[in-house]
Amino acid sequence: MSESDTGRILVVDDNRDLADLYADWLAGTYTVKTAYSGEETLTKLDSSTDIVLLDRRMPDLSGDDVLGTIRDQGLDCRVALVTSIEPDYDILDLGFDDYLQKPVQSAELHDLVESLLTRTQYSEHIQEYFAVVSKKATIQSEKDDSELATHPEFTSVVEQSSKLKSEIDTLQEDFTEDDFVAAFHDLD
């Protein structure tokens, strides 16, 4: 991630001191905003938000309800529930990306944010890679190799495909073992 695009984080907790503490921990590395209620979260959340660190238990609008609204609106951000609520089967229907149980330490919070940002980049690169590979395969099925070898736009697509694969390989190196288990858990 470039220096100018370090990640935009929205920290949400009705405990102001805790939300401010989390924001302070992250502020040196990321662009951080805070919200102290579910309602305030929905006013501060926009398409530039990369990650929401969301408490589940809030008095006006619960974190679960905020999460539902985020997903219903199709906002493209990662959401981690950072909460004192012990996980139970009720979380299975929630559309969160990660779950961290309080109390939380600074290093834990940084690791969580880095992991979520890596996943975001990985997803974007994979989507772009598959789009390029699909274009490449479609043209390859219709044209002969000698024609493809001399066509500059096709050569550009091949180079782009190679570059994206290399970027994905580099991002993959940043994945933790837990990221791989989560990402590929149900694949045979």
Cis check: omega of the bond before 87, within 30 degrees of 0: no
* Nearby residues of 24 by Cβ (< 8 Å), 6 or more positions away: none
Q: What is the mean pLDDT of each run of 10 residues along the chain (188 residues)?
A: 67 97 96 96 94 93 93 90 84 83 94 86 71 76 84 85 84 69 52
DSSP E strands in 13-167: the ranges are 31-35, 51-54, 78-83, 98-101
- What tokens were used for 98? 């990660």
Q: How far is the C-alpha of 116 from the C-alpha of 182, rounded, in Å? A: 12
**pLDDT number for residue 76:** 85
pTM over 0.75: no
How far, in whole angstroms, is CA 47 from its chain's centroid? 13
- What tokens were used for 157? 């697509």
**pLDDT number for residue 3:** 38
**pLDDT number for residue 2:** 40
* Nearby residues of 113 by Cβ (< 8 Å), 6 or more positions away: 7, 9, 26, 29, 30, 51, 53
Specify the CATH architecture of the domain 8-104.
3-Layer(aba) Sandwich (3.40)
* Nearby residues of 50 by Cβ (< 8 Å), 6 or more positions away: 7, 8, 9, 77, 78, 116, 117, 120
